[in-house]
Amino acid sequence: MLGGRILYGGDYNPDQWLEHPEVLEQDVRLMKESKVNCVSLGIFAWAALEPEEGVYQMDWLDRLITRMEEEDIQIILATPSAAMPHWLTQRYPEVMQVQADGRRNLPGKRHNFCYTSPVMREKTKAIDRELSRRFGRRKNVILWHISNELGGNFADSVCHCEYCQAAFRKWLKKKYGTLQNLNQAWWNYFLEP
């Protein structure tokens, strides 16, 4: 609830038709008719927000947030890591998940990022910082949407790259201390390499 009213709405992805402002106006009219008072924005918009590395184009989002504010529609602003831009996956393939058989996932799927990748963490931090700097104090930006599909879209939702394997081994060492403790806890018999 916000201001005594229940938030009602859903995800809105207008970055798909930015070249057609008439669609936005029709959408706003339909939102008002449907009593929508809150939308989530930017969930898959990284490519529209940062079409080239370090080049931010956020005026379209600024105009949209302003238009929603005029209609008393609140915004849940997303961090856009769910859909990596083409430049990111082409320039830094290590940001994409690796399957158990060692094959790196192809680009273009949602949530196809390695959580452990230093590059992915750096690039996500940069776009999130820019979004928060520019829109964090806007009156109708009321919440941040960080993800609703934790784990991704793949069978096991796990990345098996070298970064993730090293991080997992570090976690095991911290949790169990010794290989003997790990073997006892897991009812197994791993040997020192």
pLDDT of residue 115: 87
In angstroms, rounded to a whole number, what is the distance separating the alpha carbons of residues 38 and 12? Answer: 10
pLDDT of residue 107: 85
Q: Mean pLDDT throughout 159-187?
A: 93
pLDDT of residue 106: 85
pLDDT of residue 158: 82
E strands within the chain?
A: 9-12, 38-41, 74-78, 141-145
Helix (H) or strand (E) holding 125: helix 118-135
Helix (H) or strand (E) holding 4: none
User: Is the model's pLDDT at 189 over the cut of 90?
Assistant: no
Question: What's the pTM?
Answer: 0.86
Q: What is the pLDDT of residues 126-147, one digit of tens each?
A: 999 999 999 999 999 999 998 7
pLDDT of residue 16: 84
Cα–Cα distances (Å) from 36 to 27, 31, 63, 74, 144, in that order, read 11, 5, 19, 9, 18
**Percent of the chain whose predicted confidence (pLDDT) is above 90:** 72
pLDDT of residue 75: 97
Helix (H) or strand (E) holding 128: helix 118-135
Q: Which of 84, 65, 82 is nearest to 139 (CA)?
A: 65
154 — pLDDT class (breaks 50, 70, 90): low
In angstroms, rounded to a whole number, what is the distance separating the alpha carbons of residues 105 and 159? Answer: 10
9 — pLDDT class (breaks 50, 70, 90): very high
User: Is the model's pLDDT at 155 over the cut of 80?
Assistant: no
pLDDT of residue 95: 94
Q: Mean pLDDT throughout 91-107?
A: 91
**Percent of the chain whose predicted confidence (pLDDT) is above 70:** 94
